Structure 1
Amino acid sequence: MSLQKGNVQRTRPQKHRNHTVFKNSLHDTSNRTKLINSIQVSDVCMRCKDIIDWKIKYKKYKPLSQPKTCVKCGQKSVKQAYHVMCSDCSKKLGVCTKCCQKKEIVPGPPTKNEQIKLDNEMKALLQSLPERRRRTFLRYMDKLAKQKKQEGDELKDKDSEKNDLMDKLKELKISEDDDDDDFDDSEDGQSSNSDNDEKQD
């Protein structure tokens, strides 16, 4: 903006511009930075998740050195930075652990038992598919992996990726069932036609 009185229009572009994207692990490759980058923000609303993700991305995140006191139960059970409530109280009340408001909560990563169960379910679904559909699914997985490599997006949400794969697998399973139904119908039609031919003879 110009310093002239009443002149609110600026014609020149901004003076200092970033030519490269900021990367928090460009010069700092310490274990602390790797640990901060690997944090998965959960049990918070979408707005609070975006705030904490921004802090992680631009190297403003300061992890806790010791647990904080929960504002509801009074126990020292808050282990994540910028959270004010423990996850147990949050689940009971159905509120965000950062802003304490009733909003849609981002779910946390699955536990080891849940992960094993999901993997077993995925393997069972994959084995139940015929060879052609199985190969289609494997090609889809390879395509996703290539896209991820080209974009260089290492911090992509793994849960959403897994959900995409499960959705594709279920879609293939459903389409396979539909094909089987069509095949059964055509068989029934052929048998009824052959019965009619026999009656005519």
Structure 2
Amino acid sequence: MSTQRGNTQRCRPQKHKNKTAFKNNLHDTSHRTKLINTIQVSNVCVRCKEIIEWKIKYKKYKPLTQPKKCVKCDQRKVKQAYHVMCVDCGMKLGVCTKCCESKEIITTKPNDQEQLKLDNEMKNLLQSLPERKRRTFLRYMSKQNGEEGTQEKSKEEQKEDLKSKLEELKISNNDELNSDSDFDDFDLSD
């Protein structure tokens, strides 16, 4: 008997075995189940990622209906279930957004919809710049891509670098627009 005191070894195989693997969408083909199955777990450590993927696989995952409060910034920015910290705070502190421990963080590339959204934002930002600034930024981007082979920068660092350069160009553009008003001091009526 396996519950016998001191008997730590079981001599027989388990009594009930599943003949087929569990499928979480076998009888439930609802929109919610399809949505849950397409979730990509990111900004968490390896262990937390495995835990959340297990919940998704065995139909235990309960998505959030409203954003939760972040434990660091106290704003309602946590949109993923089982996470306790928003992505911004997690990236800033370099910790897992689920267990809040500083381990190796797994990030996934954005899916097609997110990538389209980011591309559209970048195009809008580029179109808001004048031609000269736009060409400067495009030269800077091509220079960064050329240095990619020689220098090992992560994608996040490259994105932050490009964003900072774009903001720098935008600020200098606004300064130039404001400097045009310096000629208002000269009046033709003198």
**Counterpart for residue 51 of structure 1:** 51
Structure 2 residue 132 is the aligned partner of structure 1 residue 112: no
Contact 1:69 1:76 survives alignment (8 Å): yes
Shift of 1:4: 5.4
Question: TM-score scaled by structure 2?
Answer: 0.56
Change (3 A) 1:45 1:9: closer
Partner of 1:180: none
Matches within 5 A, 1:78-89: 78-89=78-89
The aligned amino acid for 2:81 is A
Q: Deviations over 1:120-175 (max 9, x none)?
A: xxxxxxxxxxxxxxxxxxxxxxxxxxxxxxxxxxxxxxxxxxxxxxxxxxxxxxxx
Per-residue deviation, 1:19: 0.9
Deviation at residue 14 of structure 1 after TM alignment: 1.2
- In the aligned structure 1, how far is the partner of 2:21 from the partner of 2:102? 35
Cα distance, 1:109 vs structure 2:
2.4
Which structure 1 residue ranges, 4+ long, deviate > 6 Å from structure 2? none
Q: Which runs of 5+ in 1 are unaligned?
A: 117-201
Give the deviation of 1:112 after TM superposition. Answer: 1.3
Distance 1:45 1:2, change over 3 A: closer
Structure 1 CA distance for aligned equivalents of residues 24 and 81 of structure 2: 18
Alignment of 1:72-151 (within 5 A): 72-110=72-110, 111-112=114-115
- Aligned residues, how many? 117
Shift of 1:3: 5.5
Alignment-derived partner of residue 10 in structure 2: 10
Partner Cα separation in structure 2 for residue 99 and residue 60 of structure 1: 19
Residues 188-199 of structure 1 aligned to structure 2 (within 5 Å): none
Give the superposed CA RMSD: 2.2
In structure 2, stretches of 5+ residues that fail to align are 120-190
Residue aligning to 2:32: 32
Letter of the 2:43 partner, please give it: D
Paired AA for residue 24 in structure 1:
N
Q: How much identity, in percent, do the aligned residues show?
A: 71
